[in-house]
Amino acid sequence: MTIDIVNSEVRNFLNRSYTPLDSEMEKLRNIGENDNVPIILRETEELLATLLKLKKPKKILEIGTAIGYSACFFAKYCKDSQVYTIEHDEFAYTAAIRNIKKAGVDDRVHTYFGDGEEQIEKIRDQGINGFDFVFIDASKSSYKRFMESSIEVSSSGAVIVSDNILIHGLTVFEDMDPKGKHRTHRRKMREYIEFITHDKRLSTTLMAVGDGVAVSILR
Ligand SMILES: C[S@@+](CC[C@H](N)C(=O)[O-])C[C@H]1O[C@@H](n2cnc3c(N)ncnc32)[C@H](O)[C@@H]1O
């Protein structure tokens, strides 16, 4: 069951003004959507574009590459940036490498295979840190450890975006899950929201954009 966080008519109205970055990105979005790959929603992409325009990041970290849609978007949108992206699913990782190469951004998008937290440690061991933009978009129950690791490698003033914080409404509506199958997911996401909105290192705004987005600024 899906509950609309935002009225679907409102969403459709807003989505009418969405413009793909270029025809290649449009093709990749179509592939992702047709294959049910959970790439960023259009409205989330638009919010990210605004944040990127404001922040102009040089070093972007992403946890959750999937087929590389958002990684390509980051690289194409921020032409002076280096993008480091992590994926633990081999099939998705292979597809991402192919798509990133095809998009012509493989010189600036660095792909890492494995768990988000472990690979951030590897990136740090390679002497790479000072990220000024982070996108957390992987396993929802691991967001807290991804955030902790991201903070370690980010610079003061970094923008850290967490996607899907409303998990199709599950975070809010307990009656969407009468058998309690997603109880742990809900509890962990609620704990995560509590953490990012109260941790003194962060200043966080929660937004009902797409599937719910948290924008945190590292103090
Ligand atoms: C929502 S998709 C990412 C979509 C992508 N950011 C985009 O918008 O194009 C989430 C991805 O995170 C990956 N993932 C889940 N848990 C992970 C983990 N612990 N470490 C690394 N990747 C993980 C999944 O395999 C999946 O491909």
Asked if 93 and 113 touch (Cβ cutoff 8 Å), the reply is yes
pTM recorded for the entire structure: 0.96
What single DSSP character describes residue 218?
E
CATH superfamily of the 8-218 domain? Vaccinia Virus protein VP39 (3.40.50.150)
Residue nearest to atom 26 of ligand 1 (CA): 66
* Per-residue confidence (pLDDT) for residue 2, from 0 to 100: 55
How far, in Å, CA of 115 to CA of 126, rounded? 16
* Per-residue confidence (pLDDT) for residue 4, from 0 to 100: 62
Instruction: Count Cβ atoms below 10 Å from residue 104 Cβ, excluding itself.
Output: 12
* Per-residue confidence (pLDDT) for residue 25, from 0 to 100: 98
How far, in Å, CA of 71 to CA of 62, rounded? 7
* pLDDT tens digits, 36-71: 999 999 999 999 999 999 999 999 999 999 999 999
Determine the residue of 44, 60, 87 to mutate for testing ligand 1's pocket, defined as the one with the most ligand atoms within 8 A of the Cβ atom. 87
Asked if 12 and 42 touch (Cβ cutoff 8 Å), the reply is no
pLDDT band at 129 (very low <50, low <70, confident <90, very high): very high
* pLDDT tens digits, 81-114: 999 999 999 999 999 999 999 999 999 999 999 9
How far, in Å, CA of 130 to CA of 110, rounded? 15
Domain range list for the chain: 8-218
List of E strands, the chain: 59-63, 82-87, 109-113, 131-136, 154-163, 202-207, 213-218
Which atom of ligand 1 sits closest to the CA of residue 142?
Answer: 19
* Per-residue confidence (pLDDT) for residue 11, from 0 to 100: 86
pLDDT band at 218 (very low <50, low <70, confident <90, very high): very high
Of residues 169 and 4, which shows the higher confidence score? 169
H-run or E-run covering 150: helix 143-153
Ligand 1 centroid vs 173 CA: distance in angstroms? 24
Q: For 205, list phi and psi in degrees, rounded to 5.
A: -120, 135
